[in-house]
Structure 1
Amino acid sequence: METHEKIKLEDFIKNLESIKGQHTELVTVMIPAGFNINSVTRQLEAEKSTAANIKSKATRKNVTDALERIIRHLKLTDKTPPNGLALFSGNTSDNEATTNMELFILEPPKPLNIRMYRCDKEFVLDPLREILEITEVYGLLVIDRKEATIGLLEGKQIKVLRHLTSGVPSKIKAGGQCLSPDKTIIQLKDKTKILGSVEVGDEIKAYDTKTNKIVITKCVNIWKKKKKNYLNILIGDCWNIICSKEHLFLKEDSDNKIIEVPATELSKGDYLLSHADGKLTEMKIINIERMTEEIELIDIETETGNFFANGILVHNSSQRFHRVTEGMAKDFFRRIAENMKEVFFALAESGKLKGILIGGPIPTKEEFLEQGQLVTKLRELVLGMKDLGYTDEHGLELLVEASDEILAEQEMVHENKIMERFFDTLGKKPEMAVYGLEPTKKALEYGAVETLIISKKLDKKTAEEMEKKGESISSKIEYVSDENHDGQQFLNMTKGIAGILRFRIQ
């Protein structure tokens, strides 16, 4: 919506806001774009018959007269205008002793999305106010590693466009896949230790998946964690492992490939990998017991990513967690970027998308911009990022609330660019700019004005007259406020009207 269209709509709404009915007698009819006018006419005919039952003679007459005026207009209209139609009719007199029936018709500058018939003490104007707000469109994204929601802000209306989930495990954390500290024996280079006494730097037996050999690796990190739910896995004749449900074991699949399996997916009768005489062997699971009391468990990180615990080959939790989650997060970021391109790129190319706002926890939203491969056109439109804890529809609402200042600045930025262009033209090519009422009128009469700039402080009658002249020669109409230094300077210098020319005039 162009600024001049916005000002016209503002004036229309302001005029109707001032009208108050003596009784419930002001009629509002709104017809959405594409709706059949004949259907509305039939409905209003029925409403006119119903209005005949109103007890008050004066109210009955005012309502039926208002409906009749709207019906007559609709019968002269072949089809609904492209953006719909809004009609308002009723007695606008503020004196009960007199009657002044009026009909107000509006073809809105943006599509009406509501069908309405209402009879009240005042006209229903909220749908028009919503259109008034839709001057600019902004892309919205709220994101964390588990989910993301993409939306669009049109005026004050937030639309959810897409919701995506990542599949990144949320419960498995580094150090979360653990073993019993006092009942787990770790095989070192030349001796054994209970897990609870293992130290960073200890040399531990492990398996090299590239060379398929038993090797010596180093412990590089240790975590401790309390768990309430864990498993006691009985293996062979005398071995057992107490571990968290998330802990990963290594086993061979049907193709003899070594795969990772969480403890929760193991079953009685499965075979786990062990070693003897420097080679891998298998040991059978005899039973799996589920335990509920709270105990402390420990996990270690090794250079190879695995180690032998109670003779069984188990996976290193931290390395796998980091590798898997980072990989899944990057894939998720790429999917989000692709979806944003699908929904925002055409809007950006057309100039309708004024910017993009991103919300989410630190550092996920920053990582997304760095790793998500968002196309340059959209990346350049990112206006700001806000720290948020929600990534659903409510998160979009919080993002908009937190971005009030950013959004308010954008209209001012647009106005400043217009005035900057005018002052720049005036300074470098003074023959290509005019200002003041009479010089601008003359330039309009010559058809020379490419961009007509009008201060919102210019009296409305003059502004409308100049706007019509501009429209008649296809000038671009821009309105600017006086709410900052540049706007005040423009008003003081030009007296509220100026133009940038297509061609030089004498």
Structure 2
Amino acid sequence: MSNSSSKDSNNNKWDSVKRYKLTKMINELSSISGHGTELVTVYVPPRRPIFDVIGQLRNEAGTASNIKSDLTRNHVQDALSRTMEHLKLFRETPENGLVIFCGAIPNDKGIGKEKIELFSVIPPKPVQISLYRCDDHFWTDHLKEMLKDEKVIGILAIDTTEAGLGILTGDRWETVDTLTSGVAGKHRQGGQSARRFERLRENELNEYYHRVADHAQKVFIDQYNVKGIIVGGPGPTKDNFLKEEYLDYRLQNNVLATLDTSYSGDEGVREIIDKAQKDGVLAEFRVMEEKQLVKKFMSEVHSGRGLGIYGIFDVLKAMQGGVADLVLITSDISYVKLDFKCKSCKTVQEKVVDRAAIISTKQDMSSKPCPSCGATDYEVTEKDIVDYMQELATMTGARLEVISGQTEEGAQLASLGKAGAILRYKPVQ
């Protein structure tokens, strides 16, 4: 786990790489359990003066002198001292505030051999609380909440046979519920029986529409609190449903679009999302951007022009050569870059391996002599593959995008090695 400190408070647009890194850091911090109440968490809201926070922590350091355990007391005081020194780097509180995690991180060397580490981040949204905690775990919940997408869109795909209710948020969508109507098809015969049949059918439709509206309220308002709703389906059913105002007024007044589709139910939800993308209704949502990016990449792969490549090693080679223009990787990619630096001559050997192969790679390298001087004593450093690829992208002007591994697009990319790129030009063989 690497320390994270961001001072780009003027950049309010959190791209996929920043979001990936913060999510990764939060997940790793959430998994840490201290040996005692020695892990410090500090949330600083935007307008709170830095000197005020330092003063509070100085008082806490004095209180920590009363801790009975020598080890815990030293760890807490060291963590507070490190946190105060870090705060002095800021002349004023960043625009969105500041979150700091600091403490003695357990390792495989045993109790008493822990190393004090500090992790600092300027969050994507303003910090809403002023918090100091010294506990056996880091308090990450407030930061997790900031990463949740505020806008959730409801999707309703309806006709006279079935209805599908789905939600779209951030980089994922799902069908939450489906209902069948039980309404009979239209009667083809004439006479009184036909009129009676139509009245019964209208009553069944009315009851069905009320059931759909009740489910919509429970799913879209009570469960997900959507910011808007898109209604679609084949034929005039959706229009009649909206015209008669069966929906709760909070949904009725927030219909973003009405779309004609070939299907209702589960397939209809999927079709509405695809059509909304083409019509620009959902252009602001990350899932739509990911669909466009993967579609562009897949089209290039199948074009036969040789500008669409995939597989982590081919993509890295293209980035290192400066020919990669757009690079896509899945959020669940598990590779790391290992640097083996010879302690004698400082020669560095690089290896990109799956996380599962880190130990075996280190063991294998420990028996191989340095190609420059023949020594076998190395200093090893690890770097997350996304961090390494971002460095390459920055140096070469490539665009790096992290695609959610939980979507259909992520699955498509995963089938090609979880990494792909569109090249600026086809390199000479």
Q: How does 1:51-450 map to 2 (within 5 A)?
A: 51-93=64-106, 95-134=110-149, 137-138=151-152, 356-357=228-229, 363-364=244-245, 378-379=256-257, 414-428=289-303, 430-445=305-320, 447-450=322-325
- 1:498 matches 2:414: no
Residues 364 and 485 from structure 1, CA distance in 2 versus in 1: closer, same or farther, beyond 3 angstroms? closer
- Matched residues in 2 for 1:113 and 1:502: separation? 44
Q: Secondary structure at the match of 1:430?
A: coil
Aligned-pair CA distance for 1:139: 6.5
- Matched residues in 1 for 2:258 and 2:125: separation? 27
Q: Secondary structure at the match of 1:46?
A: helix
> Which letter does structure 2 place at the counterpart of 1:464?
D
- Matched residues in 2 for 1:60 and 1:450: separation? 52
The residue that corresponds to 2:34 in the other structure is: 21
- 1:43 matches 2:56: yes
- 1:451 matches 2:326: yes
Aligned-pair CA distance for 1:380: 7.0
- Matched residues in 1 for 2:31 and 2:128: separation? 25
Deviations 1:436-455 (A, max 9, x none): 33443343245443321012
- Matched residues in 2 for 1:154 and 1:487: separation? 16
Is the contact between residue 450 and residue 475 of structure 1 (CA under 8 Å) also seen in structure 2? yes
Q: Secondary structure at the match of 2:99?
A: strand
Return the structure number with greater strand share: 1
Residues 45 and 154 from structure 1, CA distance in 2 versus in 1: closer, same or farther, beyond 3 angstroms? farther
> Which letter does structure 2 place at the counterpart of 1:379?
A
Q: Secondary structure at the match of 2:415?
A: helix
Identity %: 32
Residues 502 and 113 from structure 1, CA distance in 2 versus in 1: closer, same or farther, beyond 3 angstroms? farther
Deviations 1:394-435 (A, max 9, x none): xxxxxxxxxxxxx9xx76655433222211123336344332
Is the contact between residue 452 and residue 475 of structure 1 (CA under 8 Å) also seen in structure 2? yes
Cα RMSD for the two superposed structures:
4.1
> Which letter does structure 2 place at the counterpart of 1:468?
E
The equivalent position to 2:387 in structure 1, one of 459, 464, 483, is 464
- Matched residues in 1 for 2:112 and 2:323: separation? 53
> Which letter does structure 2 place at the counterpart of 1:357?
I
Aligned-pair CA distance for 1:484: 6.1
The equivalent position to 2:399 in structure 1, one of 471, 476, 481, is 476
Is the contact between residue 228 and residue 251 of structure 2 (CA under 8 Å) also seen in structure 1? no
Aligned-pair CA distance for 1:480: 2.9
Is the contact between residue 27 and residue 118 of structure 1 (CA under 8 Å) also seen in structure 2? yes
Is the contact between residue 355 and residue 381 of structure 1 (CA under 8 Å) also seen in structure 2? no
> Which letter does structure 2 place at the counterpart of 1:123?
F
Aligned-pair CA distance for 1:12: 0.9
Count the aligned residue pairs. 267
- Matched residues in 2 for 1:502 and 1:77: separation? 41
Is the contact between residue 450 and residue 502 of structure 1 (CA under 8 Å) also seen in structure 2? yes
- Matched residues in 1 for 2:111 and 2:410: separation? 45
Aligned-pair CA distance for 1:2: 2.4
**Normalized against structure 1, the TM-score is what?**
0.45
Is the contact between residue 426 and residue 433 of structure 1 (CA under 8 Å) also seen in structure 2? yes
> Which letter does structure 1 place at the counterpart of 2:118?
L
Is the contact between residue 480 and residue 487 of structure 1 (CA under 8 Å) also seen in structure 2? yes
Aligned-pair CA distance for 1:11: 1.8
- Matched residues in 1 for 2:32 and 2:90: separation? 26
Aligned-pair CA distance for 1:474: 4.3
Q: Secondary structure at the match of 2:100?
A: strand
Residues 73 and 469 from structure 1, CA distance in 2 versus in 1: closer, same or farther, beyond 3 angstroms? same
Residues 443 and 50 from structure 1, CA distance in 2 versus in 1: closer, same or farther, beyond 3 angstroms? same
- Matched residues in 2 for 1:55 and 1:75: separation? 29
Is the contact between residue 454 and residue 479 of structure 1 (CA under 8 Å) also seen in structure 2? yes
Residues 67 and 497 from structure 1, CA distance in 2 versus in 1: closer, same or farther, beyond 3 angstroms? same
> Which letter does structure 2 place at the counterpart of 1:500?
I
Residues 427 and 40 from structure 1, CA distance in 2 versus in 1: closer, same or farther, beyond 3 angstroms? same
Larger Rg: 1
- Matched residues in 2 for 1:430 and 1:456: separation? 27
Deviations 1:306-353 (A, max 9, x none): xxxxxxxxxxxxxxxxxxxxxxxxxxxxxxxxxxxxxxxxxxxxxxxx
The residue that corresponds to 1:178 in the other structure is: none
Structure 2 spans left out of the alignment, 5+ residues:
1-13, 155-167, 171-225, 232-240, 261-281, 337-384
Structure 1 spans left out of the alignment, 5+ residues:
141-152, 156-353, 383-406
Q: Secondary structure at the match of 1:30?
A: strand
Residues 22 and 447 from structure 1, CA distance in 2 versus in 1: closer, same or farther, beyond 3 angstroms? same
- Matched residues in 1 for 2:326 and 2:56: separation? 45
- Matched residues in 1 for 2:423 and 2:87: separation? 42
Q: Secondary structure at the match of 2:40?
A: strand
- Matched residues in 2 for 1:414 and 1:109: separation? 19
- Matched residues in 2 for 1:471 and 1:365: separation? 53
- Matched residues in 1 for 2:70 and 2:23: separation? 35
Return the structure number with greater helix share: 2
Deviations 1:330-388 (A, max 9, x none): xxxxxxxxxxxxxxxxxxxxxxxx972379x97426698999798xxx53799xxxxxx
**Normalized against structure 2, the TM-score is what?**
0.52
The residue that corresponds to 1:275 in the other structure is: none
